[in-house]
Amino acid sequence: MKKLLNTLYVTRQESYLHKERETIVIKNGPDKLAQFPALAIGNIFCFGQISVSPFLMGYCAEQGIGLAFYTEYGRFLARVQGKPTGNVLLRRTQYRWADDPDKATDVARLMVAAKIANCRSVLLRDLRNHGENSSLKQAAKKLAVSLRQVQSAHSVETTRGIEGEAANSYFSVFNERLRGSHFRFDGRIRRPPTDPVNALLSFAYSLVTQECVSALLGVGLDPYVGFLHSDRPGRLSLALDLVEEFRASWADRFVLTLINRRQVCPEDFETEAGGAVRLTEKARKELLVAYQERKQTEIMHPYLHEKVPIGLLPHCQAMLLARHVRGDTRYYPPYLVK
């Protein structure tokens, strides 16, 4: 299995990255902030005013190192992409499937099934760990019903409908899972999030989404053409499809842990004039460190039967999806938390 390489998150404003022999160097003015062996780096994410030498950009593209730029607040701006990897035949099949209702449903259904099953698994786990809670139990039951429905879904639209309902059941009890804390969750609000919990969720989803994009590009799939999410200019539909499998067990659980272990507090958030809530710079940095640590945790992959760090799950699933599109497996084996 591929190795999980480090991700560099560069948040110090006005930094400059370049390549020096076989190392990547971060400078700020005349000061050298850090230096890493290039072979140990899998991704470089730059937040805000960061510049990167064209030579390093070219090196990243060639070596398959993900290099992406974000605003200081984590909104995605751009990525460096070299020659497309993999085979055009694979992408052609992907496009054909996306246009073929039966094929698209086949894949979309399984992704949603995994998402629902995973939501249910984390609720059941909470029940085991924290004892009786009738609303959690109720929600887990509803999710079981959704799961049965999605098994016989015959179109992508139906699948999306079931997915929406399941998401409602799941988020309806999200507040119950915030243990005695100073945060409240009253439903999922995106674009822009207007409370801390939603701000954290959005941040976590965008991190995982970018990893899915890199993973899909790495196996030669087009992250913009999805099965569950339909085409929309600029929308990373296939990456969003893939993220569904990881939301509950990876992103949501990460956010819940931060809150329940009081690793974040209300002071870590600021409200903009327009009502949007965002993380302070200090909190964002701490969060990235915690996120990076979480990625090292190893789990047993349910299909590959191999121990893999969580951070490699997007790669594993992108690879399984590519192999399915290529005809190695009858069905796409989505990621299931065990």
Partner 1 sequence: MDDYLAISALQHYAYCPRQFALIHIEQAWSENRLTAEGRLLHERVDAGYAEQRRGVRYERGVLLVSHQLGLTGKADLIEVHSPNEGKQESPRYFPVEYKRGRPKIEDWDRIQLCAQALCIEEMRNTQVTEGAIWYWQVRRRKPVIIDAALRQTTLDVIEAARRMLLSGETPPPIDERRRCKACSLAELCNPKAFARDRSVSYVNAIFQESDDPSEDSQE
Tokens of 120: 């249910």
Chain centroid to Cα 241, Å, comes to: 10
330 near partner 1, judged by CB under 8 A: yes
Q: How far is the CB of 164 from partner 1 (least distance, A)?
A: 18
Chain centroid to Cα 286, Å, comes to: 18
153 near partner 1, judged by CB under 8 A: no
Comparison of 114 and 208: residue with beta carbon closer to partner 1:
114
CB 60 within 8 A of CB 69: no
Q: How far apart are CA 259 and CA 195, in angstroms?
A: 13
| Prior bond of 101 cis (ω within 30°) | no
21 near partner 1, judged by CB under 8 A: no
Q: Select the residue interacting with partner 1 from 67, 114, 225, 236 (CB under 8 A).
A: 114
171 near partner 1, judged by CB under 8 A: no
Tokens of 17: 């990255």
Segment interacting with partner 1, rule: CB under 8 A, options 5-13, 72-80, 145-153, 267-275: 145-153
Q: How far is the CB of 152 from partner 1 (least distance, A)?
A: 9
Comparison of 287 and 320: residue with beta carbon closer to partner 1:
320
Helix or strand or coil: residue 301?
Answer: coil
305 near partner 1, judged by CB under 8 A: yes
162 near partner 1, judged by CB under 8 A: no
Characterise 234 by phi-psi region: left (phi > 0), alpha (psi -120 to 50), beta (else).
left
For the chain, helix, strand, coil in percent to 5 are 50, 15, 30
Q: How far apart are CA 44 and CA 80, in angstroms?
A: 10
Segment interacting with partner 1, rule: CB under 8 A, options 157-165, 188-196, 226-234, 323-331: 323-331
The full DSSP string for 124-160 is HHHHHHH---HHHHHHHHHHHHHHHHHHT--SHHHHH
265 near partner 1, judged by CB under 8 A: no
Helix or strand or coil: residue 43?
Answer: strand
Q: How far is the CB of 253 from partner 1 (least distance, A)?
A: 19
297 near partner 1, judged by CB under 8 A: no
Helix or strand or coil: residue 11?
Answer: coil
Segment interacting with partner 1, rule: CB under 8 A, options 155-163, 190-198, 251-259, 324-332: 324-332
Q: How far is the CB of 2 from partner 1 (least distance, A)?
A: 6
Comparison of 31 and 328: residue with beta carbon closer to partner 1:
328
Binding site for partner 1 (CB under 8 A): 1-2, 85-87, 89-90, 110, 113-114, 117, 120, 137, 140-141, 143-144, 147-148, 151, 219-220, 302-306, 319, 323-324, 326-334, 336
